[in-house]
């Protein structure tokens, strides 16, 4: 793993839906680290729990969702059990979020300038005119033309790509150390997607901001993330440098996922398909959750839950992965 | 050469997006129209797959809806087996059932109160494709098996299925009508990639087994490369380039096609930087003059800003660019 002390440490995190009648586990023991300034991708299909990881880190879980176990540390300090008010202060100042739909992050009845200035005043020492200047500077940095004039515009007066730039400016306003970006480019056209990806990468490099990039799109991960964690049925089944995971996936699910992605210029008569579907949270089988769909399944997989193991920062939760001790 | 199954000629579709009359009178503004489809031609031979590819607002879904007879074109013609689409889609037409549609959202396109069996049996009964109840049941069971579901699934409701299985049900319903042409509007865009692979494989298998013709609408070039044998690239209501798949992907001629290909996210080049396309698709209500791509085009000249290029033969396909030759 990385030698630098981690900015964010997630240890054996469990998240569940708790109602009066039952408790359904959604995350079932997720562990990962994010180093300062790195971009960690979390990739998975719908229902894998990838967004839940982001919500837990940012303290945005609302009942009936609860943290049912494990811990989250930010800059060495435990944050999963903080009171709401302290968590709210941390969010925005040190941890910011970017969501798929920019309109959910922007207030439609206030100007962009007011929203930016408010965030800047809340989280930095800049006030009044200085905050407004900083707001214009942020808009310029995210590539919005005529930034000083655009401060007076409302969110609906921007195009989709420009709106997502405003959201990025808003996320950067508190000078956070970590940004949790949940599907930040999914709602955008492909030609605009690239603009936002390169913008995010450049800004995070400049500011030394770390990013947890949550997406279903392995292409976005390849373009942006230095490391990637693959989520399946509430667990991380593989984690490692993006280059290694793509070139040499160690978990059968990751292999199946990569092979099912059509690529331009790779003519295959049929795409590789993974039979079946991911189990619902209420019906996760014992042992390895991927066992019922796995082409290499063994008897042991249906009984024993494999844990992440590997070398050189590349680990997989599979009894057949290299570096895993035999039974 | 045999006549194509589907022949679309100079298709136009405009929508009136004017403000209400009183607001117009007060502001002194005239009517405004959005030319969603602005004169396009294409043909699909029986058994072929033509992909219409483009970004949001390019008019590809409007073309799909015109072809399926869901909206009447403003001008131009859509001919199916040589007959105008309005006639083909008229109630009682013997060809009506031959054109079916699959939508992006399998949640919204199935009746939640109907059991799957009823959804699939409905077109069979309506068309009188099976003479007895027992034969209808057999036919439904056979179709469900064809799309990778089990005959027992006929008793279930749509909410009991995952997104991918629901899309299989939508395919089953389309198949039940014994179609020749299926208009597929972003059929896998709402699905996870591993499920997308299942549906795309299924669609290819069914095409081979039943000789189906597809009009395949997508924004995803990799999916188009996998499915189509001919591709038309749309931008702001017009086709800017069309060619057979191999030619288009090997030698894209239009700067917009190149932009799209350069923006496609592949796994091959981790962390690679690339030439980022500038700008965004303009508002189709107020398209730029001349070539509508010129504000974003790195090669635009004075000519491009004033004169709209015609779609003309070039390099094995057709391209609407003044400078296709010099771009090489």
pLDDT at A1: 46
Whether residue A45 and residue B193 make contact (CB cut-off 8 A), yes or no, is yes
The residues in B 45-64 lying below 8 A from A, measured between CB atoms, are 55-56
Closest to A219 (Cβ–Cβ): which among B195, B225, B266? B266
Max alpha carbon distance in chain A (Å)? 68
What is the average pLDDT score of chain B? 92
pLDDT band at B102 (very low <50, low <70, confident <90, very high): very high
pLDDT at A225: 95
Using a CB–CB cutoff of 8 Å, tell me whether B150 touches chain A.
Answer: no
pLDDT at A151: 95
Using a CB–CB cutoff of 8 Å, tell me whether B244 touches chain A.
Answer: no
Closest to A272 (Cβ–Cβ): which among B197, B274, B276? B197
Going A90 to A51 to A183 to A6, the CA torsion angle's sign is: positive
Over residues B266-283, the mean pLDDT reads 78
What ipTM is given for this predicted complex? Answer: 0.86
Nearest CA in chain A to B203: A270
A194 neighbourhood in chain B, CB within 8 Å: 262-263, 274, 276-277
Query: A224 to chain B nearest CA, in Å?
Result: 6
Strand order through the sheet with B49-53: B99-102, B181-185, B213-218, B49-53, B230-235, B238-244, B317-319, B312-314
Using a CB–CB cutoff of 8 Å, tell me whether B281 touches chain A.
Answer: yes
Ranges of chain A whose pLDDT falls below 50 = 1-2
Instruction: State pTM to two decimals.
Output: 0.90
Q: Report the CATH number of the B6-235 domain.
A: 3.40.50.300
SS (H, E, C) chain A: CCCCCCCEEEEEEEEEEECCCCEEEEEEEEEEEECCCCEEEEECCCCCCHHHHHHHHCCCCCCCEEEEEEEEEECCEECCCCCHHHHHHHHHHCEEEECCCHHHHCCCCCCHHHHHHHHHHHHCCCCHHHHHHHHHHHHHHCCCCCHHHHCCCCHHHCCHHHHHHHHHHHHHCCCCCEEEEECCCCCCCHHHHHHHHHHHHHHHHHHCCEEEEEECCHHHHHHHCCEEEEEECCEEEEEEEHHHHHHCCCCHHHHHHHHCCCCCCCCCCCCCCCCCCCCCHHHCCCCCCCHHHCCCCCHHHHCCCCCCEEECCEEECCCCCCCCCCC
C-alpha span between A17 and A179 (Å, rounded) = 25
Long-range Cβ pairs for the range B223-227 (8 Å, 24+): B223/A262, B223/B188, B223/B196, B224/B51, B224/B53, B225/A262, B225/A264, B225/A265, B225/A267, B225/B249, B226/A262, B226/A267, B226/A268, B226/A271, B226/B200, B227/B49, B227/B51, B227/B200, B227/B203
Are the C-beta atoms of A250 and A318 separated by less than 8 Å? yes
Whether residue A189 and residue B201 make contact (CB cut-off 8 A), yes or no, is no
Query: A92 to chain B nearest CA, in Å?
Result: 28
pLDDT at A324: 67
Comparing CA positions, the residue from B149, B125, B145 lying closest to residue B136 is B125
Closest to A271 (Cβ–Cβ): which among B55, B165, B226? B226
pLDDT at B1: 52
Whether residue A189 and residue B204 make contact (CB cut-off 8 A), yes or no, is no
pLDDT at A2: 45
Count other Cβ atoms within 10 Å, centred on residue A76: 9
Comparing CA positions, the residue from A287, A292, A288, A282 lying closest to residue A238 is A288
Query: A99 to chain B nearest CA, in Å?
Result: 18
C-alpha span between B173 and B177 (Å, rounded) = 7
Are the C-beta atoms of A227 and B270 separated by less than 8 Å? no
A204 neighbourhood in chain B, CB within 8 Å: none
Half-sphere exposure of A92 (CA within 13 A, CB side): 15
End-to-end CA distance of chain A: 25
Domain-wise residue ranges, chain B: 6-235, 252-265+280-328
Tens digits of per-residue pLDDT, B211-267? 999 999 999 999 999 999 999 999 999 999 999 999 999 999 999 999 998 888 778
DSSP conformation letters of B75-127: EEEEEETTEEHHHHHSTT-TTGGGEEEE-S-TTTTS-TTS-HHHHHHHHHHHH
Q: Which residues of B62-94 are buried (b: 16+ CB within 10 A; e: fewer)?
A: bbbbbbbbeeebbebebbbeeeebeebbeeeee
Query: B220 to chain A nearest CA, in Å?
Result: 8
pLDDT at A327: 53
Tokens representing A23 are 């408790």
Judge whether residue B122 has pLDDT over 70: yes
C-alpha span between A120 and A238 (Å, rounded) = 38
DSSP type of residue B260: H
Tens digits of per-residue pLDDT, B166-203? 999 999 999 999 999 999 999 998 888 988 999 999 99
Tokens representing B19 are 């403000």
C-alpha span between A258 and A218 (Å, rounded) = 8
pLDDT at B296: 92
Tokens representing B98 are 């031959």
Query: B222 to chain A nearest CA, in Å?
Result: 5
Percent of chain B surpassing pLDDT 90: 73
Closest to B197 (Cβ–Cβ): which among A194, A269, A271? A271
Whether residue B204 and residue A269 make contact (CB cut-off 8 A), yes or no, is yes
A267 neighbourhood in chain B, CB within 8 Å: 225-226
B273 neighbourhood in chain A, CB within 8 Å: 198
Size of interface A-B (CB pairs under 8 A): 124
Comparing CA positions, the residue from A224, A205, A210, A203 lying closest to residue A138 is A203
Using a CB–CB cutoff of 8 Å, tell me whether B327 touches chain A.
Answer: no
Closest to B197 (Cβ–Cβ): which among A162, A189, A273? A273
Rg from Cα positions in chain B: 21
């Amino acid at each position: 793993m990385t030698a630098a002390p981690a900015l964010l440490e997630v240890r054996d995190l469990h998240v569940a839906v708790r109602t009066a009648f039952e408790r359904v586990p959604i995350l079932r023991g997720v562990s990962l680290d994010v180093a300062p300034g790195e971009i960690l991708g979390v990739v998975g299909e719908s229902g894998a729990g990838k967004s839940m990881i982001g919500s837990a880190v940012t303290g945005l879980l609302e009942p009936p969702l609860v943290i049912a176990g494990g811990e989250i540390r930010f800059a060495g300090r435990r944050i999963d059990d903080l009171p709401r008010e302290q968590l709210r202060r941390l969010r925005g100042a040190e941890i910011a979020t970017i969501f798929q739909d920019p309109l959910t992050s922007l207030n439609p009845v206030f100007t962009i300038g007011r929203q930016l200035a408010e965030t800047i005043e809340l989280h930095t020492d800049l006030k009044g005119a200085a905050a407004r200047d900083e707001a214009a500077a942020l808009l310029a940095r995210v590539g919005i033309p005529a930034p000083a004039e655009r401060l007076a515009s409302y969110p609906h007066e921007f195009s989709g790509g420009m709106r997502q730039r405003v959201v990025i400016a808003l996320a950067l306003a508190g000078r956070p150390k970590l940004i949790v970006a949940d599907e930040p480019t999914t709602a955008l056209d492909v030609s605009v997607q690239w603009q936002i990806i390169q913008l995010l990468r450049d800004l995070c490099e400049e500011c030394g901001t770390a990013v947890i990039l949550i997406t279903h799109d392995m292409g976005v991960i390849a373009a942006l993330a230095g490391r990637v964690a693959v989520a399946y049925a509430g667990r991380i089944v593989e984690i490692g440098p993006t280059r290694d995971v793509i070139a040499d996936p160690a978990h059968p699910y990751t292999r199946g996922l990569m092979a099912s992605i059509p690529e331009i210029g790779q003519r295959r008569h049929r795409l590789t398909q993974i039979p079946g579907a991911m189990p619902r949270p209420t019906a996760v089988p014992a042992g390895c959750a991927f066992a019922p769909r796995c082409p290499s399944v063994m008897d042991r997989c249906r009984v024993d839950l494999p844990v992440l193991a590997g070398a050189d920062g590349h680990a997989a939760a599979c009894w057949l992965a290299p570096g895993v001790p035999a039974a | 050469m045999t006549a194509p199954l589907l022949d679309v000629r100079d298709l136009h579709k405009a929508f009136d997006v004017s403000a209400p009359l009183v607001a117009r009178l007060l502001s002194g503004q005239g009517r405004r129209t959005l030319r969603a489809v602005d004169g396009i031609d294409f043909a699909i031979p029986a058994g072929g797959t033509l992909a219409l590819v483009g970004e949001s607002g390019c008019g590809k879904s409007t073309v799909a809806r015109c072809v399926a007879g869901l909206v009447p074109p403003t001008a131009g013609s859509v001919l199916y087996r040589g007959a105008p689409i309005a006639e083909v889609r008229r109630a009682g037409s013997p060809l009506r059932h031959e054109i079916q549609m699959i939508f992006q959202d399998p949640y919204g396109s199935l009746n939640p109160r109907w059991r799957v069996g009823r959804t699939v049996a409905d077109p069979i009964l309506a068309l009188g494709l099976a003479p007895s109840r027992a034969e209808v049941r057999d036919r439904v069971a056979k179709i469900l098996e064809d799309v990778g579901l089990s005959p027992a699934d006929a008793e279930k409701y749509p909410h009991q299925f995952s997104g991918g299985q629901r899309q299989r049900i939508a395919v089953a319903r389309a198949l039940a009508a014994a179609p020749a042409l299926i208009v597929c509007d972003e059929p896998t865009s709402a699905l996870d990639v591993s499920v997308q692979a299942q549906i795309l494989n299924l669609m290819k298998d069914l095409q081979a087994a039943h000789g189906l013709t597809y009009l395949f609408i997508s924004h995803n070039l990799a999916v188009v490369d996998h499915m189509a044998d001919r591709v038309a690239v749309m931008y702001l209501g017009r086709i800017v380039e069309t060619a057979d798949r191999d030619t288009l992907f090997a030698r894209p001629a239009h700067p917009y096609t190149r932009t799209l290909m350069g923006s496609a996210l592949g796994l091959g080049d981790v962390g690679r930087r690339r030439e980022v396309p500038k700008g965004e698709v303009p508002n189709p209500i107020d398209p730029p003059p001349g070539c509508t791509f010129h504000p974003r085009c790195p090669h635009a000249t004075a000519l491009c800003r004033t004169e709209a290029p015609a779609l003309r033969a070039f390099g094995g396909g057709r391209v609407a660019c003044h400078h296709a030759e010099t771009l090489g």
